[in-house]
Structure 1
Amino acid sequence: MSTALFNAAPRRSLVTHVEDEIRAALIEGRLEPGTRLVTKELADSLGMSITPVREALVRFAASGVLTAEPAQSFRVPTMTVEQYSEISEIRKSVEGLAAFNAASQITPDEIATMKALLTRYLAAKAEKDQHLALTLNKKFRFVLYAAARMPTLLGVIELLWLRAGPGFNYLYPEVQSGTGEHHNYDDLLVALHERQPVAAREAIEHAIEDGARIVIEALQRRQTQPVPAK
């Protein structure tokens, strides 16, 4: 596990800091499926004692985001094709709803922020900077979802991204040469500018479908790979 994934804690609740760091790493796809998180190693990388780190990890395990393992360790779950397909269908419904509501309430400043993030995101993809691209994609999408002005819905979306986020790693390098997502985001920005809720919802649904197709194909390849001989 790379210690560069996490930042040292500021002067605030240590448990909250650990939760925020792990949450961001999961949502932004910086932790791959199957990644093992050892409590002591994570505590050392964050520059703190084991206790707050263990408490944060236990909370994520209780919600099903991580799985607990022996020897003070936790793991980012792997996902089957069926599980990812189910989450993607749910995401289409809730994120589509957020986009629909955002289209009538988003401000010009928020649209400008999304345009700037999209420019940086496309540049990161062109430079094959996977982690930066994933981070910028998350920021782009959550500016949109926050614009729906529905805090409960935003929380549901965040939980779904915690589950789906590790799978975003499979978007690379396949997505580097793809243009579908770019077109979906262009369509989304046009819909937001013109206050078209249905078009905004459809653009997000298409973006989720395109991404899910790539991830599912990657999962299928991994499921059919032969098991190495012992």
Structure 2
Amino acid sequence: MPGPTDHGRVLVVDDEPQLLRALRINLRARGFQVATEATGAEALKAAARSAFDVIVLDLGLPDLDGLEVLAGLRGWTAVPVIVLSARTDSSDKVAALDAGADDYVTKPFGMEEFVARLRAAIRRGAASASPEPAIVKAGDVTIDLAGKRVTRAGEPVRLTPTEWGILDLLARNPGRLVGQRELLTSVWGPAYVGQSNYLRVYLASLRRKLEEDPSDPRHLLTEPGMGYRFEPS
């Protein structure tokens, strides 16, 4: 956890020397520790060698596509990743979020907003590193993560193993967008990453069982084209 004069350890991965220099100067002036790399391969080595609180990752690297680097990171670490890219197409943003990015910033960007996003990512990372809650509440629904039990207004709710798998992943990440790819891979396996219709069917079933008004859900929210978000009470 960063201390009062150490706002966090940041790894910036970009092949633009001027941008690296500008971020290094600006972030160090604001109390961050900063390391920089210009290639995907070196970034993966640096991330494995040292502990960072957040990684800033450009998609257009000279050796590896940024999404490949992101996939490499997500194979073993949950460190927050902010994608920094000149790509403004929504499909690029969706692909990055589905691959496990925590945020997406397009170039050019304002430094103050970028630093605010950086701090927010570090806070989320520190919170997710804390011990997970054993009990999660959403309105009159209580989710016992350890006991794998769900009650609504004190009455047991019967979930299928697949429904539980989806709810478990969402409830362990309250407030965070969980991408379609992450959900499909976690619950069904890598071969099902294109089957977003599975998610629609099972989320509809979960809402019928857990939401007061399934047509206007308050807790199991859809982010169109990107994924789902669990909002506790």
Query: Between Structure 1 and Structure 2, which shows a larger proportion of strand residues?
Result: 2
- Does TM-score exceed 0.5, indicating one fold? no
TM-score by length of 1: 0.25
Query: Between Structure 1 and Structure 2, which shows a larger proportion of helix residues?
Result: 1
Q: Which has the higher contact order (CA 8 A, sep 6+)?
A: 1
TM-score by length of 2: 0.25
